[in-house]
Amino acid sequence: MKLQPRYRLTSDSRLLMGTLVSIQVVGNEELNAIENAIEKAFAAMSFVESMCSRFDEHSAIRELCRHPGEWMKVPDVLFETLRLALTMSELTDGKFDPTIGNLLERHGFNTHYLSGDALEAYPMTGEKVSFRDVKLDEDTRSVYLQKPLLLDLGAVAKGFAVDLAAKELSLFDGFVINAGGDLYLHGCDPNGENWTVGIQHPQEKEAMIAWLKITNAAVCTSGTYERRSPLNQEIHHLINPSTGKSTQGLLSCTVIAPFTMLADAVSTAAFILGKNHALDFVNEVELDALCIDDSLEITMTDAMERYLR
């Protein structure tokens, strides 16, 4: 006899932040209350996109990049995501770098995911740029770009958007937000158990290579299969700024953290650091990770095993 789920599951999906975002809420509250909360969650994510997307000509980040050599007061959402990105840059000695926007554009990552329109090219001097060319003023919440450059916060903004959306759903028994591989899982599934999460097989689109049991945490995966350059299929979007090329050796890196923005940033940074340094870095920041290399060998931090189903 098949048991009925303890809770009702309400779901919705939208195209946001360059990917399909799905929200599933577990709860027996009135359907109208759940749907209103889901709508607020999507609105929070849309707001982050409007502030931090380099693919939106009207975003706050594009406006900031139009004013190198000036102190620019920016919205709090942009300031916080940029601050975490710069912290990650310091921790990785620049392997993680939010100033690679122009480099990504040169590899063909320059079209809006909905319209397909190409972005307006920014005038560059050809001078080398790095995260050290970005200065923050905590008191005025202002940013100073020392050189003409194009910021890209894709490795942190999506995670921050998920975290803001999670606040809108926190009163329900359980929920999952899945933003193209960036997940936050809260409470229980419809059966009252921890959530089951599959880690995608990096070479088989419909297959999973591992399964996790988890709750009240974020799970983020960075992988070569996510986005490929339309100009060169050997290039994916996880680029080492010191070489200008995609990191090789790893196929994916999955990180578990208390917050999605942190998991997103660390999974990206660990991947770019490469096969020999990824897990050491994750251990240094006291998180857990599972990496898959190009021979499909799985390695993980010691504590990661507790999540495996």
239: CATH: 3.10.520.10
Cβ contacts of residue 291 below 8 Å, gap of 6+? 250, 252, 253, 254, 270, 275, 278, 279, 298, 299, 300
**What's the pLDDT tens digit per position in 89-136?**
999 999 999 999 888 887 666 665 555 666 666 555 567 899 999 999
Give CA–CA dist 160/40, Å, rounded: 15
pLDDT at 256 over 70: yes
253: containing domain: 194-307
In this structure, the answer to whether residues 116 and 215 fall within a common structural domain is no
Residue 228: band (very low, low, confident or very high) from pLDDT cuts 50, 70, 90: low
Burial class (CB in 10 A: 0-12, 13-18, 19+), 297: exposed
Least confident window among 16-25, 38-47, 227-236: 227-236
CATH number at residue 101: 1.10.3980.10
Q: Of the candidates 232, 56, 42, which has an alpha carbon nearest to the alpha carbon of residue 152?
A: 56
In this structure, the answer to whether residues 137 and 203 fall within a common structural domain is no
The residue that leads in pLDDT, 243 or 91, is 91
Residue 1: band (very low, low, confident or very high) from pLDDT cuts 50, 70, 90: very low
pLDDT, averaged across the chain: 89
Full-model pTM: 0.91
Domain boundary (152, 176, 202) is at 152
Q: What are the residues facing 300 on neighbouring strands?
A: 290
- Quote the pLDDT of residue 106: 75
In this structure, the answer to whether residues 145 and 208 fall within a common structural domain is no
Domain boundary (98, 133, 152) is at 152
Q: What are the residues facing 176 on neighbouring strands?
A: 24, 185
In this structure, the answer to whether residues 73 and 131 fall within a common structural domain is yes
DSSP 95: S
In this structure, the answer to whether residues 215 and 290 fall within a common structural domain is yes
Question: Domains in the chain: how many in total?
Answer: 2
In this structure, the answer to whether residues 233 and 303 fall within a common structural domain is yes
Residue 307: band (very low, low, confident or very high) from pLDDT cuts 50, 70, 90: very high
In this structure, the answer to whether residues 132 and 221 fall within a common structural domain is no
Q: Is residue 235 part of a domain?
A: yes
Residue 93 region by backbone torsions, left for phi larger than 0, else alpha for psi between -120 and 50, else beta: left
In this structure, the answer to whether residues 205 and 302 fall within a common structural domain is yes
In this structure, the answer to whether residues 298 and 198 fall within a common structural domain is yes
In this structure, the answer to whether residues 204 and 112 fall within a common structural domain is no
Domain boundary (152, 186, 217) is at 152
Q: Is residue 90 part of a domain?
A: yes
DSSP characters for 251-277?
EEEEEEESSHHHHHHHHHHHHHH-TTT
Q: Is residue 203 part of a domain?
A: yes
Q: Is residue 180 part of a domain?
A: no
The residue that leads in pLDDT, 6 or 189, is 189
- Other CB atoms within a 10 A radius of the CB of residue 23 amount to 26
Q: Is residue 28 part of a domain?
A: no
